Amino acid sequence: MTSSKQPVLCEEGSWKALTEYDAKFMFLEKQSDGESKPVLVCVNKNMEEELEVAMRKCRRKLKSIKRCTADGRGFKETAASHHIVLKPADILVFLQ
């Protein structure tokens, strides 16, 4: 049994695609085999274009967003909104 303090991304579990594979971006949900809450990840698959994404496409209620920056500064947390702008090759982690 794992502790609920363990980050879900570090636990065994399964991934589920919430969007079509041919979309320009991908929403993925990571479920834990332990006690951790699921986490959503959104990836801009385009290396050159920004995308604006309506959050209704992920079909989940979200508390906040952590954006991983490509410049090595780590994660920056912001409140979830109805639309997000994904920078090229952006990866966002959403807390539920």
**HSE-up (13 A, CA, CB side) for residue 53:** 27
Please tell me the predicted confidence (pLDDT) of residue 38. 83
Please tell me what DSSP assigns to residue 38: P
Please tell me the predicted confidence (pLDDT) of residue 4. 46
Contacts of 29 (CB under 8 A, 6+ apart): 15, 16, 18, 38, 39, 40, 41, 60
Low-confidence ranges of the chain (pLDDT < 50): 1-4
Residue with tokens 């951790």: 36
Please tell me the predicted confidence (pLDDT) of residue 9. 77
What is the Cα–Cα distance from 77 to 27, expressed in whole angstroms? 18
Please tell me what DSSP assigns to residue 35: S
